[in-house]
Structure 1
Amino acid sequence: MDHHDVLTPSRARGTRGALSTYGRLPAVAGWPYLAVSALARLPVSMVPIATLTAVTSTSGSVAAGGAASAATAIGQALGSAATGVLCDRHGQRRVLLALVPAHLLVLSGFVLALGGALPALLAAAFLTGATLPQVGPLSRVRWMRLSPADVRTALAYEGVVDELSFVAGPAAVGLVALASGARTPLVVAAVLTAVFATAFALHRTARAAAPLTAAAPAPGEQAGPAGRAPSLLRPVLGMLAMGAVFGGTQAALTGAAGEAGRVSDGSLVYAALAIGSTITALGMVLVPAHVSLRRRWFLGAAGLVVGALAMLAAAGSTAALVPATFLTGLFVGPVMVTVNTVTAETGGQRTGGAAMTLLTSGTVLGIAAGSAVAGALADAAGARWAFAVAVVAAAALTALAALRPARRG
């Protein structure tokens, strides 16, 4: 039996039967949990762009806004990894109940500092990102503990929720800022964190994410030879490359829309990527169990290369970019779900928080790097060249899939 089968259904099902597995998730965690965990992760996608909007508006400088947003992203990357380690050691509930008020305090200070000296703003922005509760990866850890047999379905669902949140969050920032001013989205994000991140911390499923002792086996966890755990380096590098695809695509689409005279169209075209990704992430439960994770990763990443090349070819026409971006999105969902599943297997349940939050750190850093490089290319050589960042990042992701996982020890 394939060693990946521990994370997949034990026998083949028809299409209807496979999709019906989503119905087991509310039975395991409850409908309120699905709603709370979805709403609690909205601030993760709202805060960086809300920071950009607020600082740009109050300072009159796009460069200052971009620097503050970058500081927030770096804070998220470092804080996410630290949060995962602390949650593995002390349990999610205790860590989150300390992290939420700390984040609200720092965010309040950041809002009050708007319009002040840039160094102080950057420091506050960094701390705001570092203390932002990373609900998505922590929710994945809970599913790993609650129902190991449903991990494949749960991770597909989590991928869909993440995609939807990364569309809804920036959209909410734009609408709220338009209606109530540039600072208000940060206040809305604070309220969402206070209510739903706290509810997530207090939910009964947090008991499943309590720290495991060395003597107590995790639910569904199988013992293996000491010192033979596969390294997390490959999935973390994979998500770094995936983040570069996201960041490069965002910047390139913005540049292409700007060249067409409608900068705002860039974010609308980017939504096509999220739509495509949502469709295929949901459909990952239909992939036969005998298709290995390594093959899924390789095929999805190779498809991303094709999609990125299609976007590059379509760069001269916003209308042509919509189907090309949608095509790219169709391969995003499978890669995201697969890399998360590889990590769930690799990190195990005892260190799942650290493993899953490391993926978030890689993604955030990749987005920042991809956006910066693609933005510079768009300014220097035009939007078409900016799409090369996504092409190169997708090619790197494909190469990582072709490598056999390294092992520690």
Structure 2
Amino acid sequence: MSASTSSRPSPARHPSYAAVLRLPHARRTFLAALTARLSYGTVSLAVLLSVTRATGSYAVTGLVMALFGGAVVVLMPLRATLVDRYGPRRALPPMAAAYSAGLCLLAALTWRPGTPPAALAPAAALCGCVAPPLGPTMRAVWGGLADDPALLPRAYSLDGVAEELLFVSGPALVGLLLRFGPPPAGLLLSAVLMLAGTCAFVLSPAVREVRPHQRETGRPRGRFPAAPVVAAVGLGLALSAADLLVMAFAAQRSYGDEVVPWVLGGLSAGSAVGGLLNGAVEWRRPAGERLAWLLLGLGAALGAAGLAPGVWTLAGAMTVAGACVAPTLTTAYLLADGTAAEGARARAGAWVNAAVNSGSSGGSVVAGLLVGSVPLWVCFALSGGVAVVAAVVVRAVSRSRA
């Protein structure tokens, strides 16, 4: 947070989430950003179903999904740098237009079966390369909207919980759409959401006030957000195996597959509640210290989940683990924002976003190799251990940079 922001007087002793939404232009800007970000909640399932239907090959589908997801993650800091350099109003619309055009092309290619993979792979990679960094940009805009320093943690918590709900509701929206049209219709819906939401977002007065930043020669760039990135990688690695481990737990104890959504729903519900509570508390300890304790809590809960005697005990442990997820991510974003140089806030947030997604992708591969080869409780313990190791590293980095 900039010095000018932190020196402003606080208009409320304990500002609430309602106070965040009462900020000038906050509701309009936030709703537009959420509309565009809902595209990311719908697109993964739409790509999965569309490519599988068009090719009949899970191997091709996996390749296309990997190209799409990899391009989104790897190039996100670069796209966020363009937003910092040229401003959201100049950088985001071309990205949104290219992304939406790529999705429309992918929908056209998958509308009928028999499309060769050589045509699908470049279209998916194109979409991933130009995906607009709306999450990091919205968090940078929150920094300008929140004139009271105490409001920024609440704004980030609200943003994080809303984003998580988008990724829960997005697949449900695609499922509803499938009752009226083929899977590529989900790609068209994702394109419309992105283009319409981004246009409304950049037309908001709050976004118009975000000016492009040209870095001056000799001016410090700001520190790389090492502690937030380590925390995000640890979080992604620890949670990447959750779906697979819960499914293996249910199969090992002869529960039906129908219990899996309930257990994973507990993880999501715990995350939402934890995120809201985290934003409502007036924390006195530094963000780096809180981040380490949250990762320790996540690791302990995941380790305990492996010792659960039954599915409902497992659901309880996963709910406790979930209560640490959104606060960890929100605190990581806040810490990254606090170390960012002026004009580099979107890029700092993008590094955290890319880190958690990279950790999630890499951990899924390792989990797939371990499940079935070692006892399930060991898999849970390793998953929790990753979070604990990340907590130790975060604490050490935070102390060295204090």
Name the CA shift for 1:68/1:57 in 2 (closer, same or farther; >3 Å).
same
Mapped contact 1:231–1:405 kept (Cα < 8 A): no
How far the C-alpha of 1:40 sits from its partner, in A, is: 1.6
Matches for 1:63-212 after TM superposition, within 5 Å:
63-114=59-110, 115-148=114-147, 149=149, 150-177=151-178, 180-212=181-213
My pick for the range that moved more, 159-168 or 251-260, is 251-260
What is the distance in 2 between the residues matched to 1:358 and 1:85?
A: 10
Q: For the aligned residues, what is the CA RMSD?
A: 3.0
What is the distance in 1 between the residues matched to 2:235 and 2:11?
A: 30
Question: 1:59 — aligned with what?
Answer: 55
Mapped contact 1:308–1:394 kept (Cα < 8 A): no
1:114-156 CA distance string (max 9 Å, x none): 3422243222222222222231111000111232523222111
1:289-328 CA distance string (max 9 Å, x none): 42111221111111101111122223x7443332121111
**Aligned equivalent of 1:311, options 302, 305, 311:** 305
Unaligned runs of 5+ in 1: 216-224
How far the C-alpha of 1:52 sits from its partner, in A, is: 1.9
Question: 1:221 — aligned with what?
Answer: none
Q: Given residue 126 of structure 1, which amino acid in structure 2 is its aligned partner?
A: A
What is the distance in 2 between the residues matched to 1:177 and 1:257?
A: 29
How far the C-alpha of 1:267 sits from its partner, in A, is: 4.0
What is the distance in 1 between the residues matched to 2:373 and 2:63?
A: 20
My pick for the range that moved more, 33-42 or 381-390, is 381-390
Mapped contact 1:244–1:389 kept (Cα < 8 A): no
How far the C-alpha of 1:86 sits from its partner, in A, is: 0.3
Mapped contact 1:231–1:406 kept (Cα < 8 A): no
Q: Given residue 125 of structure 2, which amino acid in structure 1 is its aligned partner?
A: F
My pick for the range that moved more, 332-341 or 25-34, is 25-34
How far the C-alpha of 1:26 sits from its partner, in A, is: 2.8
Question: Percent identity over the alignment?
Answer: 24
What is the distance in 1 between the residues matched to 2:374 and 2:49?
A: 26
Mapped contact 2:92–2:132 kept (Cα < 8 A): yes
Secondary structure at 2:371 match in 1: helix
Unaligned runs of 5+ in 2: none
My pick for the range that moved more, 322-331 or 195-204, is 195-204
**Aligned equivalent of 2:268, options 268, 274, 283:** 274
How far the C-alpha of 1:98 sits from its partner, in A, is: 0.5
1:233-266 CA distance string (max 9 Å, x none): 3322221221222322133224434554644643
My pick for the range that moved more, 174-183 or 344-353, is 174-183
What is the distance in 2 between the residues matched to 1:245 and 1:370?
A: 7
Q: Given residue 20 of structure 2, which amino acid in structure 1 is its aligned partner?
A: R
Name the CA shift for 1:183/1:209 in 2 (closer, same or farther; >3 Å).
same
Secondary structure at 2:156 match in 1: helix
1:54-87 CA distance string (max 9 Å, x none): 2223323333322222222101112321210100
Mapped contact 1:50–1:185 kept (Cα < 8 A): yes
Secondary structure at 1:301 match in 2: helix
My pick for the range that moved more, 380-389 or 294-303, is 380-389
**Aligned equivalent of 1:287, options 238, 262, 281:** 281
Matches for 1:223-372 after TM superposition, within 5 Å:
229-257=222-250, 260=254, 262-263=256-257, 265-314=259-308, 317-372=310-365
Mapped contact 2:63–2:121 kept (Cα < 8 A): yes
What is the distance in 2 between the residues matched to 1:46 and 1:193?
A: 11
How far the C-alpha of 1:351 sits from its partner, in A, is: 0.5
My pick for the range that moved more, 360-369 or 379-388, is 379-388
Name the CA shift for 1:269/1:44 in 2 (closer, same or farther; >3 Å).
same
What is the distance in 2 between the residues matched to 1:346 and 1:26?
A: 27
Secondary structure at 1:290 match in 2: coil
Mapped contact 1:54–1:182 kept (Cα < 8 A): yes
Q: TM-score, normalised by structure 2?
A: 0.87
1:148-199 CA distance string (max 9 Å, x none): 5232221111111122112112332333335533222222211211211221
What is the distance in 1 between the residues matched to 2:364 and 2:153?
A: 31
What is the distance in 2 between the residues matched to 1:405 and 1:239?
A: 14
Name the CA shift for 1:8/1:300 in 2 (closer, same or farther; >3 Å).
farther
What is the distance in 1 between the residues matched to 2:59 and 2:372?
A: 14
Mapped contact 2:154–2:279 kept (Cα < 8 A): yes
What is the distance in 2 between the residues matched to 1:289 and 1:179?
A: 48
Q: Given residue 322 of structure 1, which amino acid in structure 2 is its aligned partner?
A: A
